[in-house]
Amino acid sequence: MSKAYEIFSKFYDKYIMDTAPEMHKDYLKLIKLMQEKFNMEIGSMLDISCGTGILMKLLIEKGYSNVEGIDNSSEMLEQALSKGLKVANADMRNFDLGKRYDLIISFDSFGHVLHDEDMSNILINIAAHLNDGGIFICDGGTRAKANRMIGQTFNYGSDAYSFRWENSGQGSRVNVALNILEKTTGEKFTEEFQLQGHDIEDIVMAAKGSDLRLIYATMEPLVKKNGSFIICFQKS
Ligand SMILES: C[S@@+](CC[C@H](N)C(=O)[O-])C[C@H]1O[C@@H](n2cnc3c(N)ncnc32)[C@H](O)[C@@H]1O
């Protein structure tokens, strides 16, 4: 058994390029949209659960400065470091970087937050890392979307790796088994992890104990289709 993203990290960028090539460009568009909507001056930003840093790299290429990231997978971070990005190993449930940012983002990662208490702690930490008036933007999949994923399987193959993604579970909690084959060596790995669906109301409720004020929430498919939400909070 391997840890989540331990092997997946090695071909994550290729997987994204093959299966969702527009996703991070759409996140970039979303950030620009929110920047215009809320008239944001972005002098610094933190990408929470930055993974391999695909979005960080795009942001820097588009001229954003002081872009930093955290993630708790050393293997995902290795890929981000190889792109020359400024990242640190930290868990979003209890990080303390000792500094503040104008914008904090977290995309395609809140499914990994399994408990309400964790969500509250994450939002308190985020507020503590925002400058006054700073903005937090995240997305996530709803409970109904998670429920629809149960029982689904998905096969993927590239020249170096292939996998079979199997979802089981109950309600809005999905048990994922990622059965990976490294083609050159014939080695097989299984990465198991859980994903939890969240509704907008869950996140808004979890933010109650923080200094975050809801300023925007939508189910419009600005980035992903079918049952994803986008939420923006401002530090009051
Ligand atoms: C699907 S990947 C998305 C990565 C990146 N945001 C992107 O859009 O490409 C989810 C990421 O969340 C990270 N993650 C999961 N739980 C975490 C936690 N408690 N603290 C920090 N990162 C976490 C994983 O290591 C992984 O890199």
Task: List, for residues 164-193, the tens digit of each pLDDT value.
Answer: 999 999 999 999 999 999 999 999 999 999
- Count of CB atoms within 10 A of residue 22's CB? 11
Ligand 1 mutation pick, 2, 77, 78, 109, max ligand atoms within 8 A of CB: 109
Task: Give the residue whose CA is nearest to atom 25 of ligand 1.
Answer: 73
Task: List, for residues 191-222, the tens digit of each pLDDT value.
Answer: 999 999 999 999 999 999 899 999 999 998 77
Atom of ligand 1 nearest to the CA of 54: 9
Task: List, for residues 47-96, the tens digit of each pLDDT value.
Answer: 999 999 999 999 999 999 999 999 999 999 999 999 999 999 999 999 99
Atom of ligand 1 nearest to the CA of 47: 6
89, two tokens: 């190993």
Q: What is the pLDDT of residue 222?
A: 78
Checking if the pLDDT of 149 tops 90, the result is yes
Ligand 1 pocket, residues with Cβ under 6 angstroms: 5, 49-51, 54-55, 71-73, 76, 91-93, 107-109, 112
Checking if the pLDDT of 225 tops 80, the result is no
CA of 186 to the centre of ligand 1 (A): 27
In the DSSP assignment, the letter for residue 132 is E
Task: Give the residue whose CA is nearest to atom 4 of ligand 1.
Answer: 51
* Structural domains of the chain sorted by starting position, each given as residue range(s) with its CATH number in brackets: 19-143+197-235 (3.40.50.150), 145-194 (2.20.25)
Q: What is the DSSP string of 41-86?
A: --S-EEEET-TT-HHHHHHHHTT--SEEEEES-HHHHHHHHHTT-E
Checking if the pLDDT of 224 tops 80, the result is no
Q: Which residues contact 27 (CB under 8 A, 6 or more apart)?
A: 55, 58, 105, 107, 139, 223
Task: List, for residues 17-33, the tens digit of each pLDDT value.
Answer: 999 999 999 999 999 99
Checking if the pLDDT of 226 tops 90, the result is no
Checking if the pLDDT of 108 tops 90, the result is yes
CA of 191 to the centre of ligand 1 (A): 14
Task: Give the residue whose CA is nearest to atom 13 of ligand 1.
Answer: 49
